[in-house]
């Protein structure tokens, strides 16, 4: 017999709207699963059960035909622990903020509240969201629900792990260099990184080189598209930054593209600088996806892409971003070595070096958009390596740690630099039954195209199994 978490987020939404399920019942179901299972995963750093149940009861009592039609009415979610919610601790994954309780709620959280959602707490993130794995000094690591010896990726590791384990139907997340796509691919769920300028409250334009945007994580392409529509609609644009292309993107997920030209590459911009070795399962996933799309009648072509000068430019940008944090020398002694290294390295950069990197980023953006322009979507691996064991990333040698993150996920950060939309989704499994994902990258403002292709690929690919703890 199917349980509530077996349903897709859209099916849960429809059950809420019809009255078959109440917000109170659905919230209680997820809170019970979190209480029972999250100790094995570490996806939550704060659980606000009392507040969630009170809100669910209020929504149930005050329900009208109009409120029931809210896109997230009665739907549980959780805030990433980089997002403030009034009265709820926000630690940013750091012991420096262990006791910080904000008195304001960020737009990222308020938008989902206004759509009728119910926050169950805070999902885990690495310190200040700086790394592609979620292991911190203030709590247990976040684990892959498929294999608890492995990490869940980062920086939205808690969000992805909670969705993969059936502790949430969907989750908001953020992505400055792969922070949605890396964990989503690690644990076998769907993650969308929108175009720069697409999300009103997180356009990317306010960060160096426009890297960081918000987006959704969910178990299906349709579910992720639904949450993306909510994130887009929640705030007006204060200035003319809206990415091209039309929503709602949930509609795109429901209609297979009549035609699409897919480019395929396993080249990454890091290939000439780091020891990038593509795992055989990751390569096979790309081959499977390309074959399925070709058999469905789409044009699928390998193409040559030879990016140059990327590693030095991105490393400078990432260090520049870290250097902006207002941390004293004493505080740098209390943070993770990778955080301290990034901040200190960033503070050694000259203005000329930063300007050169920003100029190089603009040139890289133009070159990448030009190279990808012939295609509606570019298919790449999502990750180069299988999920990494807890403790695999070097906690003493920060420079080696950074290199390890590149080796794990060399296909992520360049999409942020180019400002392009991308989606990751599982298409096959390895010999142990763990999902293996691919990435589809779109043109500027091309979310509709990659969502439509991804939804079609999802329908064509094997049906993904659930992690071992799913039915507990």
Token pair for 425: 């989704």
179 has catalytic annotation: yes
Catalytic option among 22, 43, 119, 155: 155
Residue among 180, 176, 192 at smallest CA distance from 130: 176
Please give the full DSSP string across 387-441, using - where no structure is assigned.
PPBTT-S-SS-HHHHHHHHHHH-TTSHHHHHHT--EEEEEEEE-TTS-EEEEEEE
Total length of the chain: 472
80 has catalytic annotation: yes
- Strand 435-442 relative to strand 422-429: parallel, antiparallel, unpaired? antiparallel
Residue among 178, 234, 243 at smallest CA distance from 205: 243
Q: How far apart are CA 471 and CA 7, in angstroms?
A: 13
Q: How far apart are the first and last CA of the chain?
A: 13
CB atoms within 10 A of CB 38: 20
193 has catalytic annotation: no
Residue 169, classed as helix, strand or coil, is: coil
Class of residue 207 by CB neighbours under 10 A (exposed 0-12, middle 13-18, buried 19+): middle
Instruction: Quote the Cα angle for 250-254-259, to 5°.
Output: 115
Catalytic option among 22, 43, 80, 412: 80
Token pair for 43: 């996806």
Catalytic option among 94, 174, 179, 321: 179
**Active site residues per annotation:** 80, 155, 179
């Amino acid at each position: 017999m199917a349980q509530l978490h077996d349903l897709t987020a859209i099916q849960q939404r429809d059950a809420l709207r019809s009255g078959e399920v109440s917000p109170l019942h659905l919230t209680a179901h997820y809170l019970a699963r979190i209480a029972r299972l999250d100790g094995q995963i570490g996806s939550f750093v704060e659980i606000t059960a009392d507040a969630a149940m009170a809100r669910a009861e209020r929504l149930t009592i005050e329900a009208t035909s109009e409120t029931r039609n809210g896109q997230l009415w009665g739907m549980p979610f959780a805030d990433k622990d980089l997002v403030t919610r009034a009265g709820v601790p926000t630690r940013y994954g750091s012991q420096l903020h262990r006791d910080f309780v904000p008195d304001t709620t960020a737009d990222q959280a308020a938008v989902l509240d206004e759509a009728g959602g119910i926050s169950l707490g805070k999902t885990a993130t690495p310190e200040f969201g700086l790394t592609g794995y979620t292991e911190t000094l203030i709590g247990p690591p976040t684990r892959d629900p498929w294999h608890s010896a492995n990490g869940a990726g980062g920086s939205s590791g808690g969000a992805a792990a909670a969705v993969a384990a059936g502790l949430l139907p969907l989750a908001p997340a953020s992505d400055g260099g792969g922070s949605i796509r890396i964990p989503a691919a690690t644990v076998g769920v769907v993650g969308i990184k929108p175009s720069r300028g697409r999300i009103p409250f997180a356009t990317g334009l306010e960060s160096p080189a426009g890297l960081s945007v918000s987006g959704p994580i969910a178990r299906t392409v349709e579910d992720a598209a639904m949450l993306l529509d909510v994130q887009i609609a929640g705030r007006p644009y204060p200035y003319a930054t809206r990415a091209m292309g039309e929503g709602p993107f949930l509609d795109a997920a429901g209609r297979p593209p009549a035609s699409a030209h897919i480019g395929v590459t396993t080249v990454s911009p890091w290939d000439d600088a780091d020891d990038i070795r593509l795992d055989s399962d990751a390569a096979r996933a790309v081959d499977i996806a390309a074959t399925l799309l070709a058999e469905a009648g789409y044009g699928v072509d390998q193409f040559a892409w030879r990016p140059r000068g990327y590693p030095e430019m991105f490393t400078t940008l990432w260090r520049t971003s870290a250097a902006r944090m207002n941390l004293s020398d004493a505080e740098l002694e209390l943070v993770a070595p990778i955080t301290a290294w990034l901040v200190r390295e960033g503070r050694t950069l000259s203005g000329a070096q930063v300007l050169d990197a920003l100029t190089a980023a603009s040139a890289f953006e133009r070159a990448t958009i030009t190279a990808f322009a012939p295609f509606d979507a570019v298919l790449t691996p999502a990750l180069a390596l299988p999920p990494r064991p807890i403790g695999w990333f070097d906690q003493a040698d920060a420079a080696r740690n950074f290199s390890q993150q590149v080796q794990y996920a060399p296909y992520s950060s360049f999409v942020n630099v180019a400002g392009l939309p991308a989606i990751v989704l599982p298409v096959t499994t390895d010999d142990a039954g763990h999902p293996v994902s691919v990435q589809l990258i779109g043109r500027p403002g091309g979310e509709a195209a990659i969502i439509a292709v991804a939804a079609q690929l999802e329908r064509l690919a094997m049906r993904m199994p659930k992690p071992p703890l799913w039915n507990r």
